[in-house]
Amino acid sequence: MDKNHKIFGTLFVIAALVAFYYSTKYAPPRPNPAQVQAAAAPLTPGATPAVTSAANPSGAAFVAPTATGEFAAATPDQADAHSTILQNSFIRVSFTDFGGAVSNVSFLQLHYRQTQDPASGPTVFNQYHKDPMLAFVDYPGLDRGSRYELLSKSATEVVYRTVLSGHLEVTRRYLLSPDAVGATDPYQLRLETTFRNLTSQTLEPLRVSLAVGTAAPVSDTDKGIKLVSGYYNDDSQTFIPRGRLEQSGGLLGLGAHSATAEIDSPGPMEWATVNNQFFASVLTPDKPDPIVQQKWLEKRSADLVAHGQTKAAADAMAASDYSQQFSTASIAGLVTRRVKLLVQNPDTDNSAYGVTADAQFVLPAIPAGGTTVLAGDLYVGPKEYPRLSNPDIFKANQNRVVLQMGAFMRFFSALLLTLMNWMHGWANNWGVDILLTTLLLKVVFLPFTLAASRSAKRMQKIQPEMKIIKEKYKDNPQKQQTATMELFKAHKVNPLGGCLPMLVTLPFFWAFFQMLSSVAELRYSPFLWAHDLSAPDTVGHLFGFPINILALVLGITMFLQMHFTPQPSVDSSQATMMKFTPLIFMGVCYTYPCALALYSSTNALFSIGQQVIVNRLKDPVVAIAAKGPGGKATKNVTPNRRK
């Protein structure tokens, strides 16, 4: 039976590795990110926009695909649109007069360029999109199909204006700080949209939607796992991955679902986002300042009292006037859609899809001749945890855009990321930072791992006696359990002692996994032969199969770690399967960022050195209790196997 188990386990692992090889070799090619080297220039009337980029290397004309019920269509800007640019040292914002909104945002810092080639252009967010960012969605007369008049343009400000059906004037003002100044961020754009009632009657409350942006895959190896929309409110966040919009067979049929056109999430919400692996667009409407609001209400009430109103009536009228003049500025809902980005890819190729989201607002009724203002901030930039954790600028926990996980795991990820950034302050290399952070964790957990190693060694020593007890009391489970516990007590063995380090370090491992796979700082960061810690360290191909050195090192170190670690179990089939665990784990992590393999390999190498030392140390408890309970040798009643 043991032999059959070994054969079955070996064949299973071989089949898994073969399947992994052919799935990698014959997988459909993934597109490069929807990026260009510069903001789109104005086009001649009647022309079809053409983009030369990694996603469209031939420069072929971009033609919008026909939308189906399962996804929305990315559409180019109007041929006769006029672009206006605001720029600082960090971003270049391209505005379009159709919709009076943001066509795209280019990241100008060298470490956020399109590729690792220093001559390549900047990464462009929202290049392919369903709507320009901050455009009104599906609102005829105000949406992306409507031309706005450019009222003014300066180095830091642009203002657009349009009039809807002669009764509603809409003025859109955008402000970009030259660089980081005071309570602003260079990746942050200020928006103020003023609605003015041009009629002599009160306008009913308006329900409008603003496009938050469209997130696309960042590279040809991006599997789209980090393509999400999300929102935050009441100290909790929700992220909607692209996979929820796609058809899925689930796990053995469990959780299977068909493709869906959109997902509606009800509000209220404090901010909404769309993001990919490294970059995010975050829309945060203004919150009414309680002090300013109170002063405004007091002044308005006093004016009404001076004109003959009672105090109670004046307070009620002041509250009504405030709600009419100022938007409550909370997002009333979020609509998430999947967007087809590239027409040359078939509809079944999920790598050709991005994610877009629309934030819904309910504006108050506008009295005759009155106004209401919808204002807020749009952050379009890298998912840098230290930046988004600045409480003077981002007050609504927007750092959760970086660490998209529950509160328990987010605590560990934030701690590890803070440690890495602290290390980076003087090491100045993210690979070295990962090594030092890993070693620091191993040192901190050293007492736990040493105790577990000694426990595992003692368990291994008493395995022959445990086997004797099982044979002797195989027909009496109660006596078998009693004798086993006495044996543990005599040898001072804790059967759960080997599990403690795993339970302690497991949250840190998963936290490292989540953090290392989405931290923008690792993008294009080199270490030794690895050119990019956020991607596999492929150095070549063998028969079409990628050679990822750090992933192979991970498999070798895990195998050596298991070899040096005492194995309490004597079940040969179980031991055989355990030997294949490093191969399985290596296969799972083979195409993940090599930063994860670097961490795991360092962790395993440290554990190997620690275990070698523990194995060479003599355990006085085992030596004294070698004869079993009471100092008497345990009689071996196991019958000899027939040859």
For residue 408, how far is the Cα from the chain centroid? 16
Whole-angstrom Cα distance, residue 537 to residue 552?
Answer: 10
**Which of the pair, 309 or 97, is modelled with greater confidence?**
97
Secondary structure (3-state) at 239 = strand
Please give the helix or strand (H or E) that residue 471 lies within, else none.
helix 463-472
For residue 251, what is the DSSP state?
B
Secondary structure (3-state) at 359 = strand
Does residue 36 have a pLDDT over 70? no
Please give the helix or strand (H or E) that residue 504 lies within, else none.
helix 500-516
Other C-beta atoms closer than 10 Å to the C-beta of 581 total 14
Residue type at position 398: Q
- How high is the pLDDT of residue 174? 96
Q: Write b or e for each residue in 19-56: b if 16 or more Cβ atoms lie within 10 A of its Cβ, otherwise e.
A: ebeeeeeeeeebbbbbbbbebbeebeeeeeeebebbbb
pLDDT tens figures, 412-451: 888 888 888 888 878 888 888 888 888 888 788 777 777 7
- How high is the pLDDT of residue 1? 41
For residue 52, what is the DSSP state?
-
Residues 6+ apart with CB under 8 A from 541: 547
Does residue 51 have a pLDDT over 50? no
Residue keyed to tokens 């300013």: 292
- Asked if 274 contacts 264 with a C-beta cutoff of 8 angstroms, the reply is no
Mean pLDDT of the 151-176 span: 92
Beta strand ranges found along 558-599 (DSSP E): none
Residue type at position 413: S
Could you check whether the bond before residue 29 is cis, i.e. omega within 30 degrees of 0? no
Q: Which two tokens stand for residue 341?
A: 């980005």
The region, left, alpha or beta by phi > 0 then psi within -120 to 50, assigned to residue 597 is: alpha
Choice among 58-67, 172-181, 388-397 with the minimum mean pLDDT: 58-67
- How high is the pLDDT of residue 150? 94
Strand-pair category, 331-340 with 72-73: parallel
- Asked if 549 contacts 529 with a C-beta cutoff of 8 angstroms, the reply is yes
The dihedrals phi and psi of 497, each to the nearest 5 degrees, come to -65, -30
Choice among 65-69, 244-248, 456-460 with the minimum mean pLDDT: 65-69
Rounded (10°) CA dihedral 528, 531, 533, 535:
-140
Q: Which two tokens stand for residue 278?
A: 């490294």
**Which of the pair, 387 or 22, is modelled with greater confidence?**
387
Whole-angstrom Cα distance, residue 536 to residue 588?
Answer: 12
Burial bucket for residue 281 (CB in 10 Å: 0-12, 13-18, 19+): buried
- How high is the pLDDT of residue 4? 46
Whole-angstrom Cα distance, residue 224 to residue 316?
Answer: 51
At residue 28 the predicted structure's pLDDT band, cuts being 50, 70 and 90, is very low
Cα angle for residues 518, 220, 133 (degrees, 5° grid):
65
Side-chain-side CA neighbours of residue 549 (13 Å): 11
Please give the helix or strand (H or E) that residue 231 lies within, else none.
strand 228-233
**Which of the pair, 31 or 315, is modelled with greater confidence?**
315
**Which of the pair, 473 or 327, is modelled with greater confidence?**
473
What average pLDDT does the chain have?
A: 75
Does residue 258 have a pLDDT over 90? no
Does residue 63 have a pLDDT over 50? no
Whole-angstrom Cα distance, residue 224 to residue 520?
Answer: 15
- How high is the pLDDT of residue 169? 92
Does residue 281 have a pLDDT over 90? yes
Whole-angstrom Cα distance, residue 405 to residue 408?
Answer: 8
Mean pLDDT of the 272-298 span: 79
Secondary structure (3-state) at 291 = helix
- How high is the pLDDT of residue 44? 32
**Which of the pair, 362 or 566, is modelled with greater confidence?**
362
At residue 289 the predicted structure's pLDDT band, cuts being 50, 70 and 90, is low
Residues 6+ apart with CB under 8 A from 481: none
Other C-beta atoms closer than 10 Å to the C-beta of 138 total 12
Whole-angstrom Cα distance, residue 538 to residue 411?
Answer: 32
Report the length, in residues, of the chain: 643
From residue 445, give the alpha-carbon distance in Å to each of 15, 408, 438, 497.
37, 19, 11, 14
At residue 7 the predicted structure's pLDDT band, cuts being 50, 70 and 90, is very low
Does residue 33 have a pLDDT over 60? no
Residue type at position 635: K
Strand-pair category, 206-215 with 228-233: unpaired
Domains and CATH numbers, the chain: 72-288+326-404 (2.70.98.90), 422-624 (no CATH)
Closest by CA position to 185, among listed 374, 359, 377? 377
Whole-angstrom Cα distance, residue 405 to residue 237?
Answer: 9
Q: Which two tokens stand for residue 254?
A: 């469990």
From residue 242, give the alpha-carbon distance in Å to each of 54, 220, 261, 334, 620.
22, 17, 11, 14, 57
Residue type at position 350: N
Mean pLDDT of the 571-600 span: 70
> Angle, nearest 10°, between helix axes 311-325 and 290-306?
130
Choice among 189-198, 204-213, 235-244 with the minimum mean pLDDT: 235-244
Q: pTM of the full predicted structure?
A: 0.74
Whole-angstrom Cα distance, residue 593 to residue 216?
Answer: 18
Burial bucket for residue 550 (CB in 10 Å: 0-12, 13-18, 19+): buried
Q: Which two tokens stand for residue 365?
A: 């009724």
Closest by CA position to 27, among listed 545, 409, 582? 545
